[in-house]
Chain A
Amino acid sequence: MREEILRISGVNPLKCMKCGKCTASCPAFEKMEYHPHQFVEMVQNNHITPLLESESQYYCMSCLVCEERCPRGVKPQKLIEAVQVLKLRASEGNRLKPQDVANRLDPSLPQQALMAAFRKYSR
């Protein structure tokens, strides 16, 4: 599992110097059980099951502040995305199903929101 995450994300978690800037900058901090710096550390330590079981990754907005501010170029968002992608690929159902969005289709919702959400929350 760890090797697969490292392969598809292209991230080297050993570059992390644990400064915590990623987590300090993260706009989804309050909603995450595991924060960006913990994704880096836990993937490195092969402590991946808790990440898969947590819902933290669904709150990542891919805003890339963690990546921009990392002084070591670690790209924590890629690890969060990799965990999410592996979970979706392994699971039997999608997190977001077409029937789920019917009641969210308010007249002003842009297509972009639907496209992005289906890419992020389904296979």
Chain B
Amino acid sequence: MVYSYYPGCTLKTKAKKLDRYARDCAQIFEIELEEIEDWQCCGGVYPGMADELATRLSPVRALREAGDKKQDLVTVCSACHHVIKRVNEDVKTSGEIRRKINAYLEPENGYEGETKVIHYLELLRDRIGFDRIREKVKQPLNGKKIAPYYGCLLLRPYDVMNFDDPENPSIMEEFLLAIGAKPVHYALKNECCGGYVTMEDEEFASKKSSSIMEAAMDQGAESMITACPLCKYNLENSGLKNGIPVYYFTELLAEALGVKEQEEGT
């Protein structure tokens, strides 16, 4: 099965592990991730104002390319997923946004929001299935206690993201069980890490992320997983002494499937 694939800017630089292991693991399940040609940065945050059109163009370009190939569009980074999925919804539901964007981009090849955007975790759950993943695990994580951290962008707003229960999600727990780890239940798994506010007030963002990591550690977590490079950064930058490591979920998947290479950089 071939899917269009949108990596995003951070996955090409600071979050190479998130990208590389997503691709390597997909091959095990005979899934081909075809990178969008000349993709542009999603913008990092969803442009929520009705009159912002230029900031919606790059997601639409990626969506339209996937649509032209009749492929679903797979994302890995939480922020890219959030922005692309919500812009797609705007094109689908707002006549004005759809008309203006199409008039600007390529009127003869209109895009109406027909592409389906799926996050890599949804690919694992809904297209591959956690049972099939369990069968392919070569090096189970031997009951390691791992805290799933969802953050905001995958979950909210539910009426657009339609990803998992926004107050009590379970997809990462199911994922952790499938690779042989022991998911840790804790209170703040869907609280905000501080996000981009780290650029405005680093100390405040650290306070947010340290309370999340502390909550996970209080419940015995030895490490945490995330799908978001900025969540990972904030958690690692929380200033906690004896803080626990934070991994991309794809890295642990690769480890369990036995396709992880030797440690190297980002």
Q: Measuring CB to CB, which residues of chain A are less than 8 angstroms from any residue of chain B? A: 7-10, 27-28, 31, 58-59, 61-65, 67-68, 77-78, 81-82, 85, 96, 101, 104, 108-117, 119-121
Contact = CB atoms under 8 A, between A and B. Distances in A.
Q: Most chain-B Cβ atoms within 10 A of its Cβ — which of A10, A67, A68?
A: A68
B184 interface: no
B51 interface: yes
B264 interface: no
Contact of A112 (B77, B152, B156): B77
A116 B236 CA distance: 19
Contacts of B156: 63-65, 67-68
A119 B195 contact: no
Chain A binding surface, main DSSP class: helix
Contact of B230 (A67, A81, A112): A112
A101 B198 CA distance: 11
Contacts of A117: 196, 199-200
B199 A114 contact: yes
Contacts of B236: 108
Contact of A116 (B44, B191, B202): B44
B199 A10 contact: no
Interface string B35-50: 0000001011111111
B229 A112 contact: yes
Please report whether the interface of chain B is mostly helix, strand, loop or mixed according to DSSP: loop
Interface residues of B, number: 46
A108 B158 contact: no
A58 to B, nearest CB: 5
Interface string B196-239: 11111110100010000000000000000000111011001100
Nearest to B47: A119
A68 B229 contact: no
A83 B245 CA distance: 38
Interface in B30-67: 41, 43-51, 55
B204 A31 contact: yes
A111 B13 contact: yes
Contacts of B14: 108-111
A7 B41 CA distance: 27
Given A64-B152, A116-B45, A101 B199 contact: yes
B10 A111 contact: yes
6 contacts: A7-B51, A58-B197, A62-B152, A63-B192, A108-B14, A110-B229
Listed residue (A64, A77, A82) with the most chain B CB atoms within 10 angstroms of its CB? A64
B50 A121 contact: no
A77 B199 CA distance: 19
B177 to A, nearest CB: 26
B166 interface: yes
Nearest to B266: A108
